[in-house]
Chain A
Amino acid sequence: MNIGYGIGAVVVVSVATLTIGTWGLRFSRTTSDFFVASRSVRPGLNAGAISGEYLSGASFLGVGALVLAFGGEMLWYPVGWTAGYLVLLVFVAAPLRRSGAYTLPDFAEARLASQRVRSLSSVLVVVIGWLYLLPQFQGAGTALRTVTGMSPWGGSLVVAAVVLANVLAGGMRSITFVQVFQYWLKLTALLVPLAFLVIVWLSDGGRSPAAADLVVDGLNGTDWANPLAIAGDHPLYTTYSLMLATFAGTMGLPHVVVRYYTNRDGRAARKTTLIVLVLLGLFYVLPPVYGALGRLYAPDLVGSGADNVVLELPQRMIGGVGGDLLTALLTAGAFAAFLATSSGLTIAVAGVLSQDVTSRRLDGVAAFRVAAVIAVLVPLAASFAARDVAVATVVGLAFAMAAATFAPLLVLGIWWRGLTAAGAASGMLVGGALTGFAVVDNLVSDRDAGWWASLIAQPAAWAVPTSVAVMVLVSRFTRPPSSSHVNRFLVRLHTPEGVALDRT
């Protein structure tokens, strides 16, 4: 393909992102603006921003690639990534907003009145944030190499630089506008090319990619379409463990939670989540179709570069200038996906770092800016050093870790009076250690068969219940903090804003 189109798309998205970011800067002046957009973001905008930030490269490029290579089994990922917001809605959305805390460590400290739990939460936010940022930078490098011929580290560097410029310029407020823009860009960038591809497919006779006699890479269509057959020896365990990780993990992702403080009140937080479910549903029906078409038009990619199937289809099916233009649009969407998620994570990690580390020496905005630089540089350096791992694998592990640490903290902290600081800390330590072990084992060794491999690849099913059990048991055996503090806090979490409570 013509490399000029790919470079053009990247430049346009970068310039648009920075322009909207700078435009937002006019409104963004105080530390409070930087952090939470002064809590004045409407639900429609906020939902767009949450979706824009949430839909990462793993969703934009990864789902299509996984569906092409592994088939029906991979459809559970987008379903789980969406359903996580329903669980977040019913347990966390409104109370979290009413807690008045900004970050997860803020919540932990406010609920449990413990500096230690706060520090532990800060460490976990940074670990989960970096675990999630690392594959974003790597994936961006790979994708940019495909369409622009840039070296992989060049692509990572470009994403990191644009993210940093944007975050430094405007903080959260300008990020809101940027991410709303990026959601709609991502949706358009998948939808428009897909419309053309489907027309071509229909005019070619509309053959089913799941036809039993269609064998690709030794796999017939029926087996490929089977939602339980291929990955691992224990598909039922793997699927349910993945479900638990994604359903519970979403609420514990630092870059998602941080956006809830920008809602006006608890009701707005619920409305935002409902709109997020609609926006994610609209988006997630699209990527699997690319994977399915890839089975017909790009079967040679299965063994090698399935990662590129979304970007390559327009040229294979349409070709010429039209194909190049559609690929440029897809490149723009993919680049927006990497940018949006990286920006959100950078804000979240920088928010925690600046509150707990850099603000000891610097004040307000300067502390946040220094923290943002640190938040980007560490995973960027790690992405140069680490070996190439699949984006979806590392993202999946980040979900499992969030599900085994912050999810129990939030749910028990919001709904159970009996949670104590010691209980929360031990539960998060155990959950973090178990999933952390799984992360390291996954990154270091390559197992493919047996129960052990399945257990390590999808740790949520055993790590999450263990963490919850430890939290409950230790809480039972330790003395709760002053019960009047807990009561007051729970009352504040669950009482609608219309009631004139003393909310200090």
Chain B
Amino acid sequence: MDAEPPPRVRVTGPHTERTRRGPRPSVASEIDAQSDLGAIYVSGLLRAQMRLALRTLLGLGLTIGILPLVFHLAPGLGKHHLLGMPVPWVVLAFACYPVLVLLAWRYVRAAERHEAEFVAVVERPGVERW
């Protein structure tokens, strides 16, 4: 048998639409287009930030907001001295301010963490389209 070998055939992968498509639309453009997907991302962020704000406000209420009630219910507090001052003075004139800064600092850290997580999800690069 002196048959010729069959002609060479170029073998390629299965032909699909896939390669011709543009990049996957980013979540940012989904948000711009007001798609359901975008709405879910944004309302998730909004709820997280709102809960954080209310938690911080609660912290303010339980530290400084509660003081008038404490002084009202425990009028004898003024007779006790700390660092040479009546206790309510130590609290109101000095101790309140570090508490406020601490609450604010914790809030800023948490709010930025929420936003960083949101950015990480939204800008996640190179995810295959399903």
Taking beta carbons and an 8 Å cutoff, which residues of A are in contact with B? 72, 75-76, 79, 82-83, 85-87, 89-91, 94, 206, 208, 210, 222, 225-228, 235-236, 239-240, 243, 247, 267, 270-271, 273-274, 277-278, 280-282, 284-285, 288-289, 415, 484, 487-488, 490-491, 494-496, 498-502
Q: How many A-B residue pairs have CB under 8 A?
A: 146
Select one of A79, A222, A236 contacting B79, CB under 8 A.
A222
Check B23 for interface membership: any CB of A closer than 8 A.
no
- B68–A239 CB distance below 8 A: yes
- B71–A495 CB distance below 8 A: no
Alpha-carbon separation in the docked complex, A227 to B38 (Å): 51
Proximity string of chain B (48-74) to chain A, C-beta cutoff 8 Å, 1 when within and 0 when not: 011011001100100011011101100
- B94–A496 CB distance below 8 A: no
18 contacts between A and B (CB under 8 A): A75-B93, A79-B92, A86-B60, A87-B60, A90-B52, A210-B85, A222-B86, A226-B78, A227-B68, A227-B71, A227-B92, A235-B68, A271-B108, A274-B105, A277-B104, A278-B101, A280-B97, A281-B97
Check B5 for interface membership: any CB of A closer than 8 A.
no
Alpha-carbon separation in the docked complex, A198 to B60 (Å): 32
Query: Smallest Cβ distance from B90 to chain A, in angstroms?
Result: 11
Alpha-carbon separation in the docked complex, A144 to B78 (Å): 37
- A87–B93 CB distance below 8 A: no
- A499–B122 CB distance below 8 A: yes
- A90–B56 CB distance below 8 A: yes
Taking beta carbons and an 8 Å cutoff, which residues of B are in contact with A? 26, 28, 31-32, 34, 38-39, 42, 45-46, 49-50, 52-53, 56-57, 60, 64-65, 67-69, 71-72, 75, 78-79, 81, 84-86, 88-89, 92-94, 96-98, 100-101, 103-105, 107-108, 111-112, 115, 118-119, 122-123
- A495–B31 CB distance below 8 A: yes
Select one of B56, B93, B119, B122 contacting A86, CB under 8 A.
B56
Residues of A within 8 A of B60 (CB): 83, 86-87, 247
Query: Smallest Cβ distance from B9 to chain A, in angstroms?
Result: 46
- A270–B111 CB distance below 8 A: yes
- A89–B108 CB distance below 8 A: yes
- A236–B68 CB distance below 8 A: yes
- B123–A226 CB distance below 8 A: no
Given contacts A89-B108, A236-B72, A267-B112, 15 further A-B contacts (CB under 8 A): A79-B92, A82-B96, A86-B104, A90-B52, A208-B84, A210-B86, A226-B71, A227-B92, A236-B68, A274-B104, A289-B93, A415-B46, A484-B34, A488-B34, A494-B45
- A288–B57 CB distance below 8 A: no
Top 8 A-B pairs ranked by shortest CB distance? A281-B97, A90-B53, A75-B92, A496-B115, A239-B68, A225-B86, A227-B88, A498-B119
